[in-house]
Structure 1
Amino acid sequence: MDGDSDIDSDFHWTDDDENKSPTNLYGEASEAGPSRPSLYSHFIAMGFSGDMVEKAIKENGEGDPEAILQILLNSSDAGKSPLRPGDATAERPVADDEDSSDDWHIDDKEDFIDDLPPKDRKLLLLVDMGYSPEDAAAAIDRCGHESTILELADSIHAAQIAEKSDEMEHYYPKPRFEAGEGSSRRLTTEKKKTNEPKQKLKKSSTPRTRKDHVRKPSPDLDDAKIIIPKPMVGFGLPNQTCITQRTLPDEAIGPPYFYYENIALTPKGVWETISRILYNIKPEFVDSKYFCAAARKRAYIHNLPIEGRHQLLPIPPKTIQEALPMTKQWWPKWDQRTQLNCLHTSIATIKITENITRALRDSGENPKASVRDYIIRECRKWNLVWIGHHRVAPLEPSEFEMLLGFPINHTRGGGTSRTERYKSLGNSFQVDTVAYHLSVLKKMFPDGINVLSLFSGIGGAEVALHNLRIFMKTVVSVEKSEINRNILRNFWRQTRQKGNLIDLEDVRQLDGDMIESLMKQYGPFDLVIGGSPCNNLTGSNRYTRDGLEGEHSSLFYDYFRVLDIVKSLMAKKR
Structure 2
Amino acid sequence: MLHAKHSAGDDDDVNWNTDDEIDNFQSSPRNVVHMDETVAKFIEMGFSIEMIGRAVEETGGENPEPLMILETLFKISTSPEASSSKSKVIDELIGMGFSEELVIKAIQEHGEENLKEITNALLSYAAEKMHETEKMHETENEDINNNYFSDDNDDINIFSGLSSSDEENELNSFHGDGRLQDLIKMGYPRKEASIALERCGKIASLAEVVDFIFAAQMARQLDEFWAASDEQERRINEPPPRRRRLNTDIASDDELIRLPNPMIGFGVPKEPGLITDRPVPIPNIALGPPYFYYENVAMTPKGVWATMSSHLYDIKPEFVDSLYFCAAARKRGYIHNLPIKNRFEIQPTPHYTIQEEFPLTKKWWPAWDKRTKLNCVLTCIASAQLTNKIRKRLEKHERDPAVQKDIVDQCKKWNLVWVGKNKAAPLEPYEMERLLGFPNNHTRGISRKDRYKSLGNSFQVDTVAYHLSVLKPLYPKGINVLSLFTGIGGGEVALHRLQIPMKLVVSVEISEVNRNIFRSFWEQTNQRGDLIEFRDVEELDDHKIEGLMDQYGGFDLVIGGSPCNNLAGANRVSRTGLEGDQSSLFYDYCRILEAVRSKASRMRR
**460-469 vs 560-569, which moves further:** 560-569
Q: Does residue 398 of structure 2 align to residue 350 of structure 1?
A: no
- Conserved in 2, the CA contact under 8 Å of 1:305 and 1:440? yes
**Residues 309 and 109 (structure 1), Cα distance of their counterparts in 2 relative to 1, 3 Å cut:** same
Greater RCO between the two (CA within 8 Å, min separation 6)?
2
1:472-527 CA deviation, whole Å, 9 max, x = no partner?
00000111110110111110111100001111111233110111111122121110
The partner residue of 2:554 within 524, 543, 546 is 524
Partner of 1:392: 424
TM-score scaled by structure 1? Answer: 0.68
Structure 2: how far apart are the matches of 1:356 and 1:509?
50
Q: How does 1:424-573 map to 2 (within 5 A)?
A: 424-573=454-603
What are the ranges of 5 or more consecutive residues in structure 2 without an aligned counterpart?
1-15, 48-54, 57-61, 128-249
TM-score scaled by structure 2? Answer: 0.65
Partner of 1:243: 275
- Conserved in 2, the CA contact under 8 Å of 1:139 and 1:155? no
Q: Secondary structure at the match of 1:108?
A: helix
Deviation of 1:152 after TM superposition, in Å, equals: 8.9
Deviation of 1:312 after TM superposition, in Å, equals: 1.0
Structure 1: how far apart are the matches of 2:438 and 2:118?
33
Deviation of 1:427 after TM superposition, in Å, equals: 0.4
1:546-566 CA deviation, whole Å, 9 max, x = no partner?
111111111111111111111
The partner residue of 1:108 within 46, 70, 73 is 73
Partner of 1:122: 89
**Residues 394 and 532 (structure 1), Cα distance of their counterparts in 2 relative to 1, 3 Å cut:** closer
Structure 2: how far apart are the matches of 1:133 and 1:510?
53
Q: Does residue 278 of structure 2 align to residue 252 of structure 1?
A: no
Partner of 1:375: 407
Structure 2: how far apart are the matches of 1:397 and 1:107?
41
Structure 1: how far apart are the matches of 2:442 and 2:336?
27
Structure 1: how far apart are the matches of 2:314 and 2:440?
38
Q: Secondary structure at the match of 1:439?
A: helix
Structure 1: how far apart are the matches of 2:459 and 2:542?
27
Over the matched positions of the two proteins, sequence identity in percent amounts to 53
1:21-63 CA deviation, whole Å, 9 max, x = no partner?
x9xx99999xxxxx999xx99xxxxxxxx9xxxxxxxxxxxxx
Structure 1: how far apart are the matches of 2:417 and 2:378?
15
**Residues 156 and 557 (structure 1), Cα distance of their counterparts in 2 relative to 1, 3 Å cut:** farther
The partner residue of 1:338 within 358, 367, 372 is 372
What are the ranges of 5 or more consecutive residues in structure 1 without an aligned counterpart?
30-34, 42-49, 51-104, 145-150, 162-218
Q: How does 1:295-306 map to 2 (within 5 A)?
A: 295-306=329-340
Structure 2: how far apart are the matches of 1:152 and 1:500?
54
Q: Does residue 370 of structure 2 align to residue 320 of structure 1?
A: no
Q: Does residue 361 of structure 2 align to residue 288 of structure 1?
A: no
Structure 2: how far apart are the matches of 1:260 and 1:293?
23
Amino acid at match of 2:565: N
Amino acid at match of 2:287: I
**Residues 485 and 7 (structure 1), Cα distance of their counterparts in 2 relative to 1, 3 Å cut:** same
1:204-254 CA deviation, whole Å, 9 max, x = no partner?
xxxxxxxxxxxxxxx995556411010000011115222212321111112
Instruction: Report the count of equivalent residues.
Output: 435
Q: Does residue 369 of structure 2 align to residue 402 of structure 1?
A: no
Structure 1: how far apart are the matches of 2:63 and 2:277?
75
Tell me the C-alpha RMSD between the 2 structures: 3.8
Structure 2: how far apart are the matches of 1:269 and 1:287?
20
**271-280 vs 321-330, which moves further:** 271-280
Structure with the higher helix share, 1 or 2: 2
The partner residue of 2:300 within 266, 276, 294 is 266
Partner of 2:180: none
Q: Secondary structure at the match of 2:506?
A: strand
Q: Secondary structure at the match of 1:275?
A: helix
Structure 2: how far apart are the matches of 1:15 and 1:409?
54
Amino acid at match of 1:252: A
Q: Does residue 193 of structure 2 align to residue 228 of structure 1?
A: no
Structure 1: how far apart are the matches of 2:562 and 2:515?
16
Amino acid at match of 2:567: L
**Residues 353 and 515 (structure 1), Cα distance of their counterparts in 2 relative to 1, 3 Å cut:** same
**Residues 244 and 156 (structure 1), Cα distance of their counterparts in 2 relative to 1, 3 Å cut:** farther
Partner of 1:360: 394
**Residues 474 and 16 (structure 1), Cα distance of their counterparts in 2 relative to 1, 3 Å cut:** closer
Structure 2: how far apart are the matches of 1:36 and 1:114?
25
Structure 1: how far apart are the matches of 2:593 and 2:322?
26
1:84-111 CA deviation, whole Å, 9 max, x = no partner?
xxxxxxxxxxxxxxxxxxxxx9993674
